[in-house]
Amino acid sequence: MKKENDKKQYKFPMFDNEDYMKKFIGNFNAVSYDENEDIQTLKKENNNEDVLVWDTFQTDDEISALCSAINIIGETIDNTLEGEWADEEQEEQYKQTMKHLCRLSNRYPDRMGRKLI
């Protein structure tokens, strides 16, 4: 038996993730995106090797889910005291995940992919 609620589309709440953007990617103006800065950051992280970045078209719900994930993980990091992490690897995994989610949430969603060289 299906519930009547199964047909409703979930509406994500709005989140202000600007503080997480500042903390994890250093973007002090989180509402704008600088592709050149992104390219330089990726080159630095990948020892100047060629990197292929696939940016895909995103629906409003996918963008909202991404913002929700940033908020959920960010709150988990904020509410976990330094000594309470299971280990350093787990803490690093959370921080690296946040860095890439924050970066992804600011990329242009209308690019089919670009090679950063």
- d(Cα 43, Cα 48) in Å, to the nearest integer? 4
Residue 93 lies in a domain: yes
Strand runs (DSSP E) across the chain, as ranges? 51-53, 114-116
User: Confidence class of residue 1 from pLDDT cuts 50, 70 and 90?
Assistant: very low
- d(Cα 26, Cα 102) in Å, to the nearest integer? 10
Q: Could you give the number of structural domains in the chain?
A: 1
pLDDT one-digit tens code per residue, 8-50: 888 888 888 888 888 888 765 555 667 777 777 778 888 887 7
Residue 62 lies in a domain: yes
Residue 28 lies in a domain: no
- Half-sphere exposure of 56 toward its Cβ, with a 13 Å CA cutoff? 5
CB 106 within 8 A of CB 41: no
Location of structure tokens 């940033």 = 70
Residue range(s) defining the domain that contains residue 89: 33-116
- d(Cα 91, Cα 25) in Å, to the nearest integer? 16
